């Protein structure tokens, strides 16, 4: 697979200034934003504690909110990643490289069962009249975790006018075969959540968002857990989403170890392309999948190497998201 050799604008400088390798640090408590596209209003919310949420577990490495799917899978799941190994791609320096060496992404043929059913294709309609596509993951019956730039994009006019969510989408078609390519139908976002660091200054430490849906479509698709943990470095992880270089709205995934963990980001050589922004970077804990970061950038330079990168789900973000969805 050919690699682009042009550095993404400002990426290396932003990373060099913004990142410090301190994997154990947690984000301090801060307010988050909730936007209502129906009346174009935005409010600021300070998270409250929810000690009685039965879905949250505290561990020695952090905290976890479990997902939901029926039964246990037999055998080794296809998306079970390998653990840390040698660098599969020798990088001579900075460059844009969303696919590293051979393209290892695998297409999902059936999207009607979990975990594929809970990966979402997003259609964002922006205030400046443009449209774009992204990815996300169901994390509750009516909430989707995604990138901040999938709900707020300053270059497209700010908050999205609308976000249409297709869980488990599988290609394109027309209304006569709608259930074939959209097996769970669609849901429309009623509220968007993100952080001021992203909306006010484009700080990719905060490039994460959540979409509240107008229907409980997740009761049909099921959903992923999410976690803020300190031991991500070296752990096998997976990204599944909707890359723009493949046939429209087809779902693909790849797995590889997390190579570097910093305070606010996770770096890896998982193959991705544009369109997969917003896909959850998830790990297995036992047989359960927990999202530990949101894929947001390709060709991210760090200490002379090139990686793809996720905004890390820090302790503070975990608390804020838990407050928003609970």
Q: How confident is the model at residue 71 (pLDDT cuts 50, 70, 90)?
A: low
Q: What is the pLDDT of residues 162-186, one digit of tens each?
A: 999 999 999 999 999 999 999 999 9
**Neighbouring residues of 81: CB distance < 8 A, sequence distance ≥ 6:** 236, 237, 238, 255, 256, 257, 283, 284
User: What is the per-residue pLDDT across 116-147, written as a single tens digit (0 to 9) for each?
Assistant: 999 999 999 999 999 999 999 999 999 999 99
User: What are 28-39's pLDDT values in tens digits?
Assistant: 456 899 999 999
Beta strands in the chain (DSSP E): 32-36, 41-45, 56-59, 62-65, 106-107, 119-125, 131-140, 143-146, 152-153, 158-159, 162-167, 187-194, 209-213, 225-229, 236-241, 252-261, 265-268, 280-285, 288-302, 305-312
In the predicted model, what is the mean pLDDT of residues 16-39?
60
| Percentage of residues of the chain with pLDDT beyond 90 | 75
Whether the per-residue pLDDT at 92 is higher than 50: the answer is no
CA atoms of 259 and 261, how far apart (whole Å): 7
Model pTM score: 0.86
Q: Classify domain 11-66+80-325 by CATH architecture.
A: Beta Barrel (2.40)
Segment 283-292, tens digit of pLDDT: 999 999 999 9
């Amino acid at each position: 697979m050919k690699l682009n050799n042009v550095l993404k604008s400002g990426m290396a400088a932003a990373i060099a200034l913004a990142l410090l390798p301190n994997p154990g640090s947690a984000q301090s408590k801060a307010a988050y934003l909730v936007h209502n596209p129906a009346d174009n209003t935005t409010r600021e919310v300070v998270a409250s504690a929810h000690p009685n949420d039965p879905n949250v577990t505290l561990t020695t490495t952090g905290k976890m909110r479990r997902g939901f799917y029926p039964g246990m899978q037999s055998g080794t799941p296809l998306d079970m990643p390998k653990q840390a190994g040698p660098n599969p791609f020798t990088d001579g320096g900075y460059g844009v490289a969303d696919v590293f060496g051979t393209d290892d992404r695998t297409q999902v043929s059936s999207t009607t069962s979990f975990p594929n059913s809970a990966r979402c294709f997003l259609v964002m309609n922006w205030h400046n009249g443009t449209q774009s596509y992204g990815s996300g993951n169901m994390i509750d019956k009516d909430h989707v975790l995604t990138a901040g730039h999938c709900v707020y994009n300053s270059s497209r006019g700010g908050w999205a006018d609308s976000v249409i969510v297709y869980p488990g989408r599988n290609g394109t078609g027309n209304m006569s075969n709608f259930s074939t390519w959209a097996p769970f139908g669609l849901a429309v976002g009623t509220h968007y959540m993100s952080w001021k660091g992203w909306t006010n200054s484009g700080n990719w430490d905060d490039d994460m968002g959540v979409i509240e849906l107008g229907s409980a479509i997740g009761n049909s698709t099921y959903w992923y857990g999410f976690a803020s943990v300190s031991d991500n470095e070296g752990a096998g992880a997976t990204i599944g989403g909707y890359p723009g270089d493949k046939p429209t709205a087809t779902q693909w995934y790849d797995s590889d170890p997390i190579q570097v963990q910093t305070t606010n980001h996770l770096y890896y050589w998982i193959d991705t392309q544009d369109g997969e922004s917003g896909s959850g970077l998830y790990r297995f804990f036992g047989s359960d999948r927990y999202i530990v970061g949101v894929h947001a950038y390709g060709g991210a330079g760090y200490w002379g190497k090139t990686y793809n990168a996720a905004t890390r789900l820090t302790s503070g973000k975990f608390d804020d998201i838990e407050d928003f969805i609970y």
